[in-house]
Amino acid sequence: MKNEPTSSKSETDFSRLEAMGDDDIDFSDLPEVPPERFAKTLVRKGLKPVERKVQLTLRVDADVVSWFKAQGRGYQTRINSVLKAYKAAHEGST
């Protein structure tokens, strides 16, 4: 591999960029993010790390799983929330 010096001169036309207005920017290759999707994004800077989840096999009655699934997407997250609430309610009671 040759150690050839790279040019430190930028080929960017900064004066042209500074003269551009917002309407001159081409966003055709960048789709707009709908507000619903943007609202689901998280910024975690300075927050505690997210606890890792553990995958396991669990036998649950079919009617219980069907009921949670009927609530729509995220049924596993809701099941996890119910279990967390149960845990919180019973901590220290043993």
User: Could you list the pLDDT tens digit for every one of the 94 residues in the chain?
Assistant: 566 666 677 888 899 989 999 899 888 898 888 888 888 777 777 788 878 899 999 999 999 999 999 999 999 999 999 999 999 999 977 6
Given this model, what pLDDT does residue 83 score?
Answer: 95
Given this model, what pLDDT does residue 2 score?
Answer: 64
Given this model, what pLDDT does residue 8 score?
Answer: 75
Chain length of the chain: 94
Given this model, what pLDDT does residue 34 score?
Answer: 87
Given this model, what pLDDT does residue 5 score?
Answer: 63
Is residue 83 within 8 A of residue 73, CB to CB? The reply is: no
Burial of 68 (0-12, 13-18, 19+ CB in 10 A): middle
